[in-house]
Amino acid sequence: MNTVNKKTDLSVNVAGLKLNNPVIAASGTFGFAREYSDYIDLNGLGGVSVKGLTLKPRQGNKPPRIAETPAGILNSVGLQNPGVIHFIKEEIPFLRKYNTAIIANIAGNTIDDYCKMAEILQDADIDAIELNVSCPNVKQGGVAFGNTCAGISEVTKRVRAYCKKPLIVKLTPNVTDIKEIAKAAEDAGADSLSLINTILGMAIDIHRRRPVLAQNFGGLSGPAVKPVALRMVYEVAHTVKIPVIGMGGISTGEDAVEFLLAGASAVMVGTMNFVNPTACIDVVKGIEKYLEQYNISSVMDIIGTLELNDTSTAGGNGCGCQIESK
């Protein structure tokens, strides 16, 4: 059984969500944790963000709904899940056997869906709610709630009225300016933000001349998205006053440390769980090793300590383009 040694202080408090360490298993990649309990000691996780929940059970999209890419995967699973009531009755009792935080990730196609789930979960034995705002709003022509400031503001504000537990809003990267979206969520009552969700992508079967995925498009995750995720986490962490949970391509402890330095108070590990079922514990150990290497007693001491290079005389404009001299 893969476990974690406790030598340094890895504990963090993310806006009232107390974690034994800053590593959370990301929603959609860890089921309800049962699937991984034979491989790792779940007590070694900071938390588990469970499979995305909807009001009623869903079968998800028809296959193919997973496609491998050179450095990640595309998915269009479609939130297959047994529904929020099943989660409360069957999955929470299992998870409560372990000393790890339980985060309920909820999704819906109307704001009423989100509000009803938040109300149902209010008395459930969970530690926080994570709002998946990448779902299409059927009342607004299918535009995802998280794609506009108005959309994310409305759903966050409405859910906030029903949610007394720590409320995490999960941001989509498929926007023009994620800083504006983050600020709108903060102003509407989010306790913390998690980012990034998957990046919209596509794979094509050149022999059939059709998309690989039955839904044509899917969400890209894995190592390929890490540079984008790091940049967005840095930008958001330096825009809002609430804590940020970083994710996107984390495979190792070193990857996680990058996100912490960029300003994340905790991290989520997703796609790598499919490749390596002990990934989350390995990341915890990697963070601990880094702290010991530099004689740092608490993980809190490295959060947001990144120092940017001085670009004032570098001859570039920060986007990889050279500035012409006049």
pLDDT digits (tens, 9 = 90+) for 298-320: 999 999 999 999 998 765 555 66
- 135 is annotated as an active-site residue: yes
Beta strands in the chain (DSSP E): 12-14, 17-19, 23-25, 47-49, 66-69, 72-75, 101-106, 128-132, 167-170, 192-195, 199-201, 204-205, 210-211, 218-221, 244-247, 266-269
Report whether pLDDT(6) > 50. Answer: yes
What average pLDDT score do residues 65-86 get?
96
- Judge if pTM exceeds 0.85: yes
- Asked whether 217 and 204 are in contact (CB, 8 A), the reply is no
Question: Between the CA of residue 320 and those of 174, 238, 281, 311, 315, what are the distances in Å?
Answer: 22, 22, 36, 12, 10
Which domains are delineated in the chain?
12-302 (3.20.20.70)
Rounded to a whole number of angstroms, the CA Rg of the chain reads 19
The tokens describing 191, both together, are 């306790």
State the distance between the two ends of the chain, measured CA to CA, in whole angstroms.
64
Q: How far is CA 271 from the centre of its chain?
A: 11
Task: Give the model confidence (pLDDT) of 183-205 as tens digits.
Answer: 999 999 999 999 999 999 999 99
* SS3 of residue 140 by DSSP: helix
Structure tokens that stand for 87 in this block? 């989660």
Distance CA 189, CA 159 (A): 9
Task: Report the share of the chain in percent with pLDDT over 90.
Answer: 90
| pLDDT tens per residue across span 115-155 | 999 999 999 999 999 999 987 655 666 678 999 999 999 99
> Angle of helix 149-160 relative to helix 111-121, nearest 10 degrees?
30
Of residues 115, 135, 149, 280, which has the active-site annotation? 135
Residue 326: pLDDT band (50, 70, 90) is: very low
Rounded distance, CA 198 to CA 209, Å?
25
Spacing of C-alpha 319 from chain mean position: 26
> Is pLDDT of 324 > 80?
no
DSSP-assigned beta bridge partners for residue 204:
211
Is 17 a residue whose pLDDT tops 60? yes
